[in-house]
Amino acid sequence: MPKPLTITTAIAYPNGRPHIGHAYEAIATDVFARAARMMGRDVFFQTGTDEHGLKVAQTARGLGITPREFVDEMASYFKEMDDLLGISYDRFIRTSEPVHHAASQAIWEAMAANGDLYLDRYEGWYSVRDEAYYDESELVEGTDGAKLSPQGTPVEWTVEESWFFRLSNYQDKLLALYAEQPDFIQPESRRNEILRFVEGGLRDLSVSRTSFDWGVKVPGSPDHVMYVWVDALTNYLTGCGYPDDTERMARYWGPESDIVHIIGKDIVRFHTVYWPAFLMSANLPLPGKIFGHGFLLNRGEKMSKSLGNVADPKELAEAFGVDALRYFLLAEVGFGNDGSYSAEAIVHRTNTELGNAFGNLAQRTLSFIAKNLEGRLPEPAATADDEALLAAVREAVTDMPRAFEKLAPHEAIQSWLRACYACNAYIDAQAPWALRKTDPARMEAVLATLYVAIAELAVAISPVIPTSATALLDHMGVPADARGYGESVDWYESLRAGGFVLAAPKPLFPRLELPAEAE
Ligand code: ME8
């Protein structure tokens, strides 16, 4: 049996509504989770919201409401976005949940028991936006001469009593980890960045705050709340049953589990330096792989509230369709690279690839069968051409789960498209409509080949476009046991023998037009 897979997104700061970057990460992770389930794996997929910290407390105060009221409303928008986009999470975690406070206090106590926490005074440059302290040498100068964090956010000099984590003790252990598990940090470019950072030496990390109280209380130090990243990272354990549900922990966070975090490139340091150090300190298993994906840019520009170009995933999904948006984001951007989106690019890709290459192929074939055979499934009589087409489709389709497993969805989509183009070339060469009068038996054999090929293509792409693929497979009567990645099941003959009648199909991907304001 393959190992159980635990796969997570980052948990989002709910200090604003979700944007397209959040949607991108959720969609990519969802595709990996769905593909793994189709390989027969036991999958635990978690996403959620990161609700503590000064920033949330300040935003709520500015609105004249409590942090709790604020996050209750905001978290609901993230959950709504996930549900709208078909994100098949098993658990939507909110860090304000009592079980999460208990898990965070348990990991704290485990790190304390290991001698890694001590009380001291902290002075340094703190960015509220990033919830992080920076070294003087890391700061950059803004246009008006103000000091800014490396992410370009304002910093202030801050002095407070704080608990510290002995991160300095973990430099060698982390370097050994990166050497032993070369896949731990992906893609390669981000791995090199982190290696250089850790080789440069690690300073102990301030892990508690006394200046506000919207957070998880430090056990035995009621004036302190945990640094938000300690509690945020622990979300992954909470969902796996830490600390009390040992059976669940053994399954989803055990030495035998396959644990994958999908996050954006700006938070790779937190996940590949602090997080494994905390886990080592608490004597817990480590994740296997942390993938830092790239950023989505709006027509090549960084999104920001001040530029007014923050794309609302809900509006995009409503304008273009959920599956078109899912497909576009994964096909357009090599996973790991930055990418750009625009209404024109979404419309163009959807129309040419989903609409023409796949949708029309299915539409032409199925309506021809519905009309000319009155929905009776055509009789196969395979020739070398038919076998060659099915072999090409199967080769592409067997590459796809492997590409999803190595977190390369754009490669999976490329294989799939190649197979769609092969089917289009086949239908043009065989011209079944011309055979209707001259050679009806051959016409049936061609249509039967296409029927099987279309169904296999729909199964293979279903992690990316689950709603349309399922609708098509339902329409075609493809049984549930033929909808996984694995041994091919000979369903066509039994469907035909059972007298299945194909109804006239509806177009899967109606042609998109550019919205008026984008023209
Ligand atoms: O960082 N394109 O939350 P967050 C692609 N709470 N991805 C983007 C993006 C963009 N334009 N902007 C942000 C946090 N992201 C923390 C995480 S995890 C224990 C705590 C990604 O709401 C970003 O890289 O700022 C991150 O992975 C996720 O969205 C949430 O970002």
Q: Is the CB of 25 under 6 A from ligand 1?
A: yes
Q: Ligand 1 centre from 25 Cα, in Å?
A: 8
Q: Ligand 1 centre from 283 Cα, in Å?
A: 27
Q: According to the model, what pLDDT value does residue 519 have?
A: 45
Exposed e or buried b for every residue in 452-479, given b needs 16+ CB within 10 A? bbbbbbbbbbbbbbbebbebbbebbbbe
- Selection from 134, 205, 196 nearest residue 169 by Cα: 205
Q: Ligand 1 centre from 424 Cα, in Å?
A: 40
Q: According to the model, what pLDDT value does residue 297 have?
A: 87
Q: Is the CB of 232 under 6 A from ligand 1?
A: yes
Q: Is the CB of 164 under 6 A from ligand 1?
A: no
Q: Ligand 1 centre from 47 Cα, in Å?
A: 12
Q: Which of 266, 305, 329, 340 to mutate to test the pocket of ligand 1 (most atoms within 8 A of CB)?
A: 266
Residue 77 near residue 17 (C-beta atoms within 8 A) = yes
Would the pTM count as exceeding 0.85? yes
| Mean pLDDT in order along the chain per 10 residues (519 residues) | 94 94 98 98 98 93 96 98 98 98 98 98 88 88 90 91 97 98 96 97 95 95 96 98 98 97 98 98 98 89 62 92 98 96 94 98 97 97 97 96 98 98 98 96 98 98 98 97 88 97 95 74
Q: Is the CB of 23 under 6 A from ligand 1?
A: no
Q: Which of 231, 267, 316 to mutate to test the pocket of ligand 1 (most atoms within 8 A of CB)?
A: 267
Atom of ligand 1 nearest to the CA of 263: 27
- The helix (run of H) or strand (run of E) holding residue 195 is helix 188-199
Q: According to the model, what pLDDT value does residue 305 have?
A: 58
Determine the straight-line distance between the first and last CA of the chain, rounded to whole angstroms: 52
Q: Ligand 1 centre from 102 Cα, in Å?
A: 25
Q: According to the model, what pLDDT value does residue 308 have?
A: 62
The three-state secondary structure class of 241 is coil
Each residue's pLDDT tens digit, 119-141: 999 888 999 888 888 889 999 99
| 301, HSE (Cβ side, Cα atoms, 13 Å) | 10
Q: Is the CB of 14 under 6 A from ligand 1?
A: no
Residue nearest atom 22 of ligand 1, based on CA coordinates:
12
Q: Is the CB of 107 under 6 A from ligand 1?
A: no
**With helix as H, strand as E and coil as C, how does 43-68 read?**
EEEEEEECCCCHHHHHHHHHHCCCHH
Q: According to the model, what pLDDT value does residue 69 have?
A: 97
Q: Ligand 1 centre from 22 Cα, in Å?
A: 6
Give 175's contacts (C-beta < 8 A, 6+ positions apart).
195, 198, 199
Q: Is the CB of 263 under 6 A from ligand 1?
A: yes
Residue 167 near residue 203 (C-beta atoms within 8 A) = yes
Residue nearest atom 9 of ligand 1, based on CA coordinates:
21
Q: Ligand 1 centre from 161 Cα, in Å?
A: 29
Residue nearest atom 24 of ligand 1, based on CA coordinates:
264
Q: According to the model, what pLDDT value does residue 179 have?
A: 98
Could you tell me whether strands 5-8 and 258-264 are parallel, antiparallel, or unpaired per DSSP bridges?
Answer: parallel
Q: Which of 47, 50, 104, 307 to mutate to test the pocket of ligand 1 (most atoms within 8 A of CB)?
A: 50
